[in-house]
Amino acid sequence: MKRGRVLAVLVGGVFCLAVMSLYRMLELMQGVESGGRGDAPVGQVEEDLSRLQLKIDRLERLLVDNNRLVARLRDSLLVRESPDGRGGANASSAGPPLGCRKPEEMKDGADGVQLLDVYDLLPFDNPDGGAWKQGFEISYHGDEWAEQPLELFLVPHSHNDPGWLKTFEGYYEDQTRHILDNMLVKLGEDSRRKMIWAEISYFSRWWSDIDDQKRALVRRLVEAGQLELVTGGWVMADEANSHYFALVDQLMEGHQWLQTHLGVAPSSGWAIDPFGHSPSMAYLLKGAGLNNMVVQRVHYSIKKHFARQRTLEFLWRQSWDSSSRSDITCHMMPFYSYDVPHTCGPNPAVCCQFDFHRLPGGRVSCPWRIPPQPITDQNIEDRALLLLDQYRQKSRLFRSPVLLVPLGDDFRYVESREWDAQFNNYQKLFDYFDQHPELHIKARFGTLSDYFAALHHRLSTAGTSLPTLRGDFFTYADRDDHYWSGYFTSRPFYKRLDRTLESTLRATEILFTLTLAEMRRLHDEGRWVEGFPAGEHYQRLTEGRRSLALFQHHDAVTGTGRDPVVIDYGTRLFHAILNLRQVLLSSAQWLLLLDKSQYHKDQSKSFLQMDEVISAQDALPEKTTLKLSDEPRSLIVYNPTEQLRSTVINLVVDSPDAGIIDSKTGRPIAAQISAVWVEPSKASAETFQLSFVAELPPLSLIVYHVIKSPAGSAPRARYIVHRRGNPPPVHSEHFQVSRLEGAEVNTPLSLTNKHLQIWSSPETGLLQKVRLQSGLVRQVQVQFLWYGTRTSGDKSGAYLFLPGGEGPQVYSSSEPPLVRVTRGPIFSDITSCYPHFTHTVRLYHLEGHAGKSLEVSNTVDIRSEGNRELAMRLVSDVASGNRFYTDLNGFQMQQRRTLEKLPLQANFYPMTSASFLQDSSSRLSLLSAQSQAAASLRSGELELVLDRRLQQDDNRGLGQGVTDNKLTESLYHLLLEDRRGGAKEVGGASVEHLSLLAHLASLSLCHPPITMVDPGEGQLPKLRPFQPLRSSLPCDVHLLNLRTLEDPQEAGSPSQEVALLLHRKGFDCDSPPDPLPTCSWSEDEEVDLDRLFSPLRFSSVRRSGFTLLRDHDEPDSAHQAALLRPMEIGAFRVRLE
């Protein structure tokens, strides 16, 4: 009763405060209205209204915070009073938060396949299987098809890499345009001919070259079902390194193009060349409206096992989904490759004889030295029966008598004669089959839609169901112990640049959309403001989308293209970032101006510029130096995340006497001046780093002023510089620098903040131990390692990781590293300077969850090495056994098991953005800003491959090594957490999620704040902050994108419609954050969009597929709650008021 009265008093007090605040607000409004009736200048009235708006916004946020405070007080009391110690939304650390996901073991009945169990089961041996080297002998009696004839679909295809040995344009000019030109002619000659095409980047490029008459022919072929566009992505994307934002981007770009120009929506996926396959892609395809998919590059032992079990066709289900909602029908090709010798049946020597492109006299022949023969009346019986035998053997590996046989290879059908050779000879064989019903086969050219329609019909008629499958298909091996784990890291510089473009694109998409919405709100014309180059900006956005999309190609982000091709990709990424920055600066300028008439379309007259410059496609970004004077310099910080965040902003200034002021309040903000180190022991005398803590509301643009402060008034960092046995001379006139003396030389270096304490080796500077405020202590030692490659036979290259028999060697250098310790009020860090890398562990002195993780950064340069790979290893006392977790595409976590029966390179997996180890009492998470290979070779260990330099080709077609290394940065957050609430391990293939804290840390890492400054020339116009949201979105709801869609009536121009994509993340129950973050969450599976995005309003809301095709739109549901279950993505076509 007493607690109830206390709660009632608190609630009443808060309510009274809110009512008084509202009365005060009304008085202010009346005052402004009466004042506005006088002769005050328009500008003054606008400024007063602006200030009032800011006050109202602040009041609204305070009310939201008050409500949240009341809810927390209530929940904490309920938690204490409830017998099980659990409460409502945002429950305290006494119990797991509602809406979290407990680890669970998913089972799908007797016919369910869990890939982790398959990995445990298989011996991964490689006996000679005869004609099918990696398989087994297939037998049949001959009467199996008497009642149900074999129904065969021969699917012509041409796999066109958008860059590999040649650039995108090089391939297009030399090969692709000829393939598509011939396609128009040759399919038009016979209505029985079919073809599929996957890469919309090429198709759209060709479309822009052809005239209206040819376009009409294309539409007729599509409508007739002779030409099918499969998957519909901009590229056939890599599935290991690509982040799910970019995977959605490339799918949407392709699907939107198809909708606009051909009016079609793809129904089947075709992924025959990515080097391993992810369930994240299966989920995205299903969400984009596809119902079927085909995959090829799967470990040969898995293929053999699935062939024996006849599970090569299955329903691919998400590991976290207890329902069948995410299921998609998947066909796995059974043999080595997607070329003709490996697709008609198990014997490549026979199948090659039916690749009529290899007829004698051509440029391509059969390596088995038995050439194809043209089909004639004299040989047709023998040839037909020989081919039918292969078809029948292959058919025995599947559960239905419907058979898919691809007919194609890389860049096939360039020449007219190949079309004739393939189609004419196969048509003769098909006609022969039709004339001999005793053979029980109906064969014809087909598309994927033809095949899957027949398959589903046969399965339904026979009452046969396909098995369900959970898991992923990494790591891929195509033969022997040749595991394709090298490309998880190859060309890491460009993997990092990929993520820089991704975060820039997302930030720009959101700000551009909000700018157009704000224009409509202020001008009520339904269009953008005259003078704002919305059309030009939309073109830049489109180019940015397509550059990111192109780089998701499975020879681009993978790092497996030739050097000139990599430069071409890098140049596209670089130009895209520069163009998007123009849109970002222009949008920010318009939103910030109090007087919109002062907006300049001409970017050269803009009062904003980026505070960071990228000078070339292969250069690291550099901060521009702010020159301070008596006039303050304006600084704009844009928070592209949906969460209120406390973050440290770093600037470079030309004076050690600098400060920062909040433009709204005029109050100074705590800051730190640090040295800019031009060499490990030499600080710059001309430039200095100014760091301060910014409190950034969600999606906001906040204005600060950088000022020159009185001499010596700015808090400066203090330094310790040390090198064992050989103390370096230190050059620093503006900072206090000391050395380790006496017993300090052997005492661990220590840094601490309110949340944790770390200890590092005084000799190496590398981390040794972490202690949390809760008392949890874990050994966490950082090591660096070299991997070499084999001395004979096959060696590591761009694709393959084939380490030498000696295994990893601990990194050593001729002299000890220089160790530099920084201590300051905003951050403290320890930096170790080695010949091949500089490693920093930084601790931020921040309140709340932002200060709970360690920032780990590496700057790597291995250009002096040959056939070496540099790895970073964490060695902890977390009792993780042989299990660890890596993410798949930043979308979900996947359990991994390190298996001794597999070679070392097989136990490396792709890590796009996160990995963790755990035991019953602790979890150690490493969150990453770039993709790379990860492994846990022993219990408690986690290692990442940082860069690889390899002198030779690995015989997978590239024809070169990887020697174009750059100075490369990698960035991480390391997070140690208690596991509470009786956390227990779940046996089998358990589904786990990142903790709430890890999600928030990853969000900050992947989407850093963007800083802009005024050029410092002349008087600055009046600015006001832009804060579009009243409060943060729930902690577990991520704003994946807010993307303006193209105007269907005006090509290349923005419409009033917006693609709103939300991802509700699953988060772990056993690591609740303490104290609680400011964002809220709930176990309710519905979200109220109006409330989430208040004060923004949606005049129209239509749920749609992930790629926003109109055919997938549901009825308008504005002002209704939307269903969004944990782990699911929701896509909506909205109009913003």
Annotated active-site positions, please?
A: 273
Q: At which residue do the structure tokens 């786990």 appear?
A: 992
In whole angstroms, what separates CA 493 from the centre of its chain? Answer: 16
Tokens found for residue 17: 């405060």
Residues pairing with 237 in the sheet: 553
- Given a contact cutoff of 8 angstroms between Cβ atoms, the answer to whether 354 and 344 are in contact is yes
Omega within 30 of 0 (cis) for the link into 461 = no
CA atoms within 13 A on the CB side of 593: 19
**Dist CA 490 CA 510 (whole Å):** 31
Tokens of 612: 């960071």
E-assigned strands of 940-1033? 941-949, 968-978, 990-991, 1010-1013
Residue with token string 């700057």 = 859
Phi, psi of 22 (to 5 degrees): -65, -40
Block residue for tokens 């951050």: 827
Angle at which helices 279-287 and 244-261 cross, to 10°? 30
For every residue of 925-945, which 3-state class applies, written as one string?
A: EEEECCCEEEECCCCCEEEEE
Do 674 and 622 meet the contact criterion of CB atoms below 8 Å apart? no
Q: Say how far apart CA 1137 and CA 1134 lie, in whole Å.
A: 10
Other beta carbons within 10 Å of 725: 8
The end-to-end CA distance of the chain, in Å, is 47
DSSP for 423-468 reads: HHHHHHHHHHHHH-GGG-EEEEE--HHHHHHHHHHHHHHHT--PPE
Both tokens assigned to 1022: 């009046």
Residue carrying structure tokens 């991704």 = 502
User: Facing residues of 635 across strands?
Assistant: 704, 1013
Count of helix runs (H) and strand runs (E) in the chain: 19, 51
**Spatial separation of the C-alpha atoms in residues 515 and 509, rounded to whole Å:** 10
Burial annotation 562-572 (CB, 10 A radius, 16+ → b, else e): beebbbbbbeb
- Structural element, H or E, at residue 577: helix 563-592
3-state helix, strand, coil in the chain (%, to 5): 30, 25, 45
Query: Tokens 């004739």 — which residue?
Result: 420
R_g over Cα of the chain: 31
Of 243, 231, 313, 230, nearest to 280 (Cα)?
A: 243
Handedness of CA 330, 335, 337, 343 (dihedral sign): negative
Quickly count: other Cβ atoms within 10 Å of residue 1050's Cβ: 10
- Tell me the three state secondary structure of residue 707: strand
* CA–CA distance, 237 with 258 (Å, rounded to integer): 17
| Cα distance between residue 600 and residue 487, in whole Å | 45
Q: What are phi and psi of 220, to 5 degrees?
A: -65, -40
Beta strand 104-105 with 1121-1123: parallel, antiparallel or unpaired? unpaired
Q: Which residue in this structure is represented by tokens 């009642």?
A: 147
Residues 6+ apart with CB under 8 A from 97: 89, 90, 91, 996, 1067, 1069, 1072, 1081
